[in-house]
Homo-oligomer: A and B are copies of this chain.
């Protein structure tokens, strides 16, 4: 007996200006009317596989048991594979292109169990063109899984060691310096870094210095003192705080303003963190090279 599912959690770079998301919902509704579709987000930047994989990884420990479908797919229509990957002994199945968008979430869910390539034409929709696999390949696979079709029926098994890996940058940490990277800027302008609170050396204290720079301009950028805080509202007006965010990572933040704008930070930029004498936080903010790099 195969498992049935009743929730499909759906993430993509489809946006909501077009009908792509609605058509995917419609296909699922027609094939598996009992399934509920939850939109994680469709606001991933077009073609940005890395950003999509990070958003999925941030969500994965909260998504309901069932099927997860992630479609950020610049290679649609090429020989890149569509895959379905079981996790947690089959409590969940992740469906999407084999381009790394699923990989960090699979790892966070405990690693892959069985995996297949979605090549069985019986469980795909026929289509005039090969540009919308969300509709023609991934939604039907997700719906049929909800109906109790076993993973193995969707296509041939895939060696999980050969799945496309995710790319999550690791920080460089030594006693005096943490070289971090800006992973994600949210709607409010908070910038999540790829370091958690335990990654900071114990001697760093409550006030730190950050030096931000874009890969294209490593000597430019902004240098600022930042205080560690527990909430946005603890940050003084105009100051930058370093907060443990809702994913347990360190985020640069301001109180009701955008830290990303203030620091001229973009996803992928480098943020070098060093210790700073506590007195400095009471001095005016240290700024270096404030000529706007991206204006």
A284 interface residue (CB < 8 Å to B): no
| Contact among B46, B132, B188, B231 with A187 in the assembled complex (CB-CB below 8 Å) | B46
**A41 & B17 in contact (Cβ 8 Å cutoff):** yes
Give the distance to chain B from A29, nearest Cβ to Cβ, in Å.
4
Give A41's nearest chain B residue, CB to CB: B19
B residues within 8 A CB of A231?
75-78, 130-131
A224 interface residue (CB < 8 Å to B): no
A243 interface residue (CB < 8 Å to B): yes
A50 interface residue (CB < 8 Å to B): no
Q: A187-B46, A246-B128 are in contact. Are A233 and B38 (CB under 8 A)?
A: no
B residues within 8 A CB of A42?
16
Copies in the complex: 3
Q: How many residues of A contact B (CB 8 A)?
A: 67
**A232 & B74 in contact (Cβ 8 Å cutoff):** yes
A285 interface residue (CB < 8 Å to B): no
Give A37's nearest chain B residue, CB to CB: B38
Give A36's nearest chain B residue, CB to CB: B29
B residues within 8 A CB of A19?
11, 40-41, 55, 58-59
**B232 & A131 in contact (Cβ 8 Å cutoff):** yes
Give A46's nearest chain B residue, CB to CB: B188
| Contact among B39, B74, B234 with A22 in the assembled complex (CB-CB below 8 Å) | B39
Most buried by B among A26, A30, A39, A43: A26
Interface string of A91-110 (1 = CB under 8 A from B): 00000000000000000000
Cα A237 to Cα B221 with chains together (Å): 31
Give the distance to chain B from A246, nearest Cβ to Cβ, in Å.
3
Cα A247 to Cα B129 with chains together (Å): 7
Most buried by B among A39, A41, A136: A41
Most buried by B among A7, A65, A127, A246: A246
**A135 & B246 in contact (Cβ 8 Å cutoff):** yes
B residues within 8 A CB of A46?
187-188, 256
Q: Which residues of A contact B (CB under 8 A)?
A: 6-7, 9, 11, 14-23, 25-27, 29-30, 33, 36, 38-43, 46-47, 55, 58-59, 62-65, 74-78, 127-132, 135-136, 186-188, 190, 230-234, 243-248, 251, 255-256
